[in-house]
């Protein structure tokens, strides 16, 4: 687990950037094939991919900044300092959706059709991207000896428990056994290693990568081939990913918070409800 893939002099190529570059190019090729079946040219798909990528990045950053407005109000110069970290996937989804509607309106293309084409490549890209998070040692999970009664709580109490754990003498700490054998110890130079030095952690990014890949298989080989109304694939992606993110967030130690709850839990529930209503409306209208 090392963030740098290749270094030539002062030029550094990180695994994180490499993973997202691979995701982008594979995603475009898949989208071109699907788009061709829907009557869209490869030029349209390429232009749309660029718009969706930029709007998604802007949305992801803005979402993160808004949830940390106390810090960025005092440090406005750091708003554009994305190299210091600070992106949120739900913000990226919302930003990409806005970009999709703008591009669709400009090109007179149903934005739901564009979303259907993007859904499979997007969740596959998220799968690959999580390996970049692994290399960076970020999206840190909780220590593998954290009790499930602490992990699976809607109102997080991990840090409260962890503070208590650190006050215990070594003999009392020994009663907290590892619950899984696949915990990962991250370098102390990584975000995960700095927060939890020399401790095995739940590989939350790999949990999500595996579930994302299953979501991709379902979307690409089953859902998109069904005779559903246009837009069903896209909004189904929103539901699928929201369920995945809801589950994985239980194992993450660094989620954004809102109203004392994990922000991904709140946003996932909202998006599931909205998406379910839209899917019902689209397919009822079709029938």
* Long-range CB contact pairs, 221-228, < 8 A, 24+: 224/34, 224/116, 224/119, 224/120, 228/282, 228/283, 228/286
Distance of alpha carbon 94 from alpha carbon 271, whole angstroms: 10
Query: Do the annotations mark residue 33 as ligand-binding?
Result: no
Distance of alpha carbon 124 from alpha carbon 120, whole angstroms: 6
How many other CB atoms are found less than 10 A from the CB of residue 4? 13
How many other CB atoms are found less than 10 A from the CB of residue 163? 9
DSSP code string of 30-58: HHHHHHHHTT--HHHHHHHHHHHHHHHHH
Distance of alpha carbon 199 from alpha carbon 3, whole angstroms: 19
Residues comprising the binding site? 130
């Amino acid at each position: 687990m090392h963030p740098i893939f290749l270094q030539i002099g002062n030029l550094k190529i990180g695994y994180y950037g490499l993973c997202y570059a691979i995701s982008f190019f594979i995603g475009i090729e898949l989208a071109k094939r699907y788009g061709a079946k829907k009557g869209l040219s490869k030029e349209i798909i390429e232009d749309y991919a660029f718009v969706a990528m930029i709007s998604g990045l802007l949305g992801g950053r803005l979402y993160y900044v808004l949830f940390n407005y106390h810090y960025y109000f005092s440090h406005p110069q750091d708003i554009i300092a994305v190299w210091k970290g600070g992106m949120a996937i739900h913000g990226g989804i919302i930003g990409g959706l806005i970009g999709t509607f703008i591009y669709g309106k400009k090109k007179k293309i149903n934005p739901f059709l564009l979303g259907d084409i993007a859904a499979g490549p997007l969740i596959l890209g998220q799968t690959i991207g999580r390996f970049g998070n692994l290399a960076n040692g970020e999206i840190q999970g909780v220590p593998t000896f954290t009790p499930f009664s602490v992990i699976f709580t809607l109102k997080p109490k991990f840090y409260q428990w962890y503070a208590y754990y650190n006050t215990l003498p070594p003999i009392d700490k020994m009663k907290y056994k590892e619950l899984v054998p696949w915990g990962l110890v991250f370098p102390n130079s990584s975000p995960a290693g700095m927060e939890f030095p020399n401790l095995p952690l739940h590989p939350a990014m790999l949990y999500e990568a595996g579930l994302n890949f299953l979501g991709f298989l379902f979307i690409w080989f089953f859902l998109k081939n069904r005779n559903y109304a246009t837009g069903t694939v896209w909004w189904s992606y929103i539901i699928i990913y929201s369920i995945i993110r809801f589950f994985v967030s239980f194992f993450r130690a660094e989620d954004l918070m809102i109203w004392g709850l994990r922000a991904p839990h709140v946003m996932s529930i909202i998006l599931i409800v909205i998406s379910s209503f839209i899917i019902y409306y689209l397919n009822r209208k079709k029938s």
